[in-house]
Amino acid sequence: MVDMDKIVSLSKRRGFIFQSSEIYGGLGSAWDYGPLGVELKNNVKRLWWRDNVHLRDDMVGLDAAITMHPKVWEASGHLASFSDPFTGCAECGRHYREDHLWSAITESKWFTSLHAAVANAQDLAKDLRKWVQKDGGKLARNLKLVKDTDNTLAAAHGFYPDLVNNVKQESVHLDSRKLLRLITGNVSGRACPNCGSAQLSDPRPASLMLETSLGPVQETAIKIYLRPETAQGIFVNFDNVLQASRKKLPFGIAQIGKAFRNEITPGNFTFRTREFEQMEIEFFCLPGTDEEWHRKWIDERFQWYQRYGIRRENIRQRKHEPDELAHYAKGCVDIEYLFPMGWSELEGIANRTDYDLKQHSQFSGKALEYFDEETKQKIVPYVIEPSAGADRSTLAFLVDAYHEEEVRGEKRVVLKLHPELAPIKIAVLPLLKKNDQIVETAKKLTADLRKRWYAVYDDTASIGRLYRRQDEVGTPFCVTVDVQTVGDEKAPADDKVTIRDRDTMEQVRVSLSALESTMQKLMDGKWAEVAQDHGIWQG
């Protein structure tokens, strides 16, 4: 699995994603999409919309406002219970999500070095003492290893070699907790991932709702919230959409838009941020058919990521345990992706029952119901909610596409993005930028191709460098105009150009008149057919 640092560095270098407000030192956890990033993320959203709205006849779209009546959040239950448990360190002042504390500890520098010291110990007491000296007095003090060093070492020694053997085994998680308890004498096994102090506050809930005020004058302004999910905009518009579209159950409403959460521990690049974009569907169905629709949506969404290139081995489904379920859900399955920091949620598909429509009916006084022609009864539909993150999906596609390869002794970085996702579809490259005819032909070709695909012209380096650059940003096809294309005193023009495939680096030569139709075939994944028609050679 690729290191996240490589993705962050490529993103900045090639204009996918930048740190927000970087010239002012940056704003934590906020990111800006650069020229190629905006193309990639727009492609993710466009494909999601096309596949979930335009290609289905049981779906319609919506674009609701980010700011909503404050009562919405009372009714939805967010004001009362949309929070994460957090804990603070009295020593260094850092805050952590209680449920992420243990993984933060095991990933911390001090803990991994402690773990390594024990795992490699020949003489535990001696090696731990060395570790205490090496990793600094403050951490050792925080871990209570200074005042009590001899006692803790003696206690740890009592468990030796059992402890060492356990740590050496693969069940790192369990043994690491035991290790922490033994070494620090800290019965809870809780310690600050940053400084190692055991002085962590008891977990308390922290609201994730981001507040702002609406109105020009402070005295009369009202407190409102930036929506933490786009879903509620769909629920409160249920009746409007139903009346306007005359849809029959089952049908769904899709929406893409910004959401905001005061996350305690944002991080891992764009994986968890305080401002992000969601792609959500609320699919309304008859009670009793909800389980079947839940399963269908899980399958559909699971396939969707794979359709656009996510490798099967990097994606999985995980059913929520009853104690993990959100307050509104009867069941939920997460689609998880193997991100560089481990398996993490990409999308959640929940069965929200009739909870939201009933809550909004009660709080607003407006009945949110559906008249069932068959039974001649009014019912409150059940809701299946596939809820994806546009930023997280974009990150997953980037990570999955990233490859490093060796080509003729040189390292090649290539983003093997699906052509529909690739920011640039075609790069037109002149073999000689001093040849006016070549340049003119290449520029005209670019302008023609642009009418259908996002194409760029580039003559700022040698052809080899240009290919590598396009590989690195995931451009699936490069078209090269050369001397044979335009002809010279030795030979007449053959009116043909070379098309190079990013992944195989194979090339075909096709006539200008057939370029557009050939390109369409290539975008549809028919390289083999084109290669058979025109013959290939390795570039």
Which spans of this chain sit near ligand GAP (rule: CB under 6 A)? Answer: 229, 231, 261, 263, 272-273, 276, 278, 280, 345-348, 385, 387-389, 391-392
Q: Closest CB to ligand GAP among 20 and 437?
A: 20
Q: How far is the CB of 152 from ligand GAP (least distance, A)?
A: 39
Q: Are 66 and 72 in contact (CB under 8 A)?
A: no
Residues 6+ apart with CB under 8 A from 369: 357, 361, 378, 379, 380
Q: Closest CB to ligand GAP among 277 and 458?
A: 277
> CA–CA separation, 331 vs 353, rounded Å?
9
Q: Closest CB to ligand GAP among 142 and 394?
A: 394
> CA–CA separation, 132 vs 215, rounded Å?
57
Q: Closest CB to ligand GAP among 278 and 446?
A: 278
Q: How far is the CB of 15 from ligand GAP (least distance, A)?
A: 21
Q: How far is the CB of 277 from ligand GAP (least distance, A)?
A: 8
Q: How far is the CB of 263 from ligand GAP (least distance, A)?
A: 5
Q: Closest CB to ligand GAP among 67 and 520?
A: 67
Q: Closest CB to ligand GAP among 270 and 480?
A: 270
Angle at 132 between CA 126 and CA 135, to 5 degrees: 135
3-state secondary structure of 64: coil
Q: Closest CB to ligand GAP among 343 and 453?
A: 343
Residues 6+ apart with CB under 8 A from 85: 97, 98, 99, 203, 204, 205, 206
Q: Closest CB to ligand GAP among 44 and 510?
A: 44
Q: Which residues pair with 407 in a beta bridge?
A: 410
Q: How far is the CB of 329 from ligand GAP (least distance, A)?
A: 9
Q: How far is the CB of 301 from ligand GAP (least distance, A)?
A: 11
Is the peptide bond between 250 and the residue preceding it cis, with omega within 30 degrees of 0?
yes
Q: Residue of minimal CB distance from ligand GAP?
A: 389
> CA–CA separation, 231 vs 385, rounded Å?
8
Q: Please provide the DSSP assignment of 487-539 as one string.
A: --SSS----EEEEEETTT-EEEEEEGGGHHHHHHHHHTT-HHHHHHHH-EEE-
3-state secondary structure of 42: helix
3-state secondary structure of 114: helix
Q: Closest CB to ligand GAP among 191 and 368?
A: 368
- The residue type found at 506 is E
Q: How far is the CB of 485 from ligand GAP (least distance, A)?
A: 46
Residues 6+ apart with CB under 8 A from 389: 276, 277, 278, 279, 346, 347
Q: How far is the CB of 25 from ligand GAP (least distance, A)?
A: 22
Q: How far is the CB of 307 from ligand GAP (least distance, A)?
A: 18
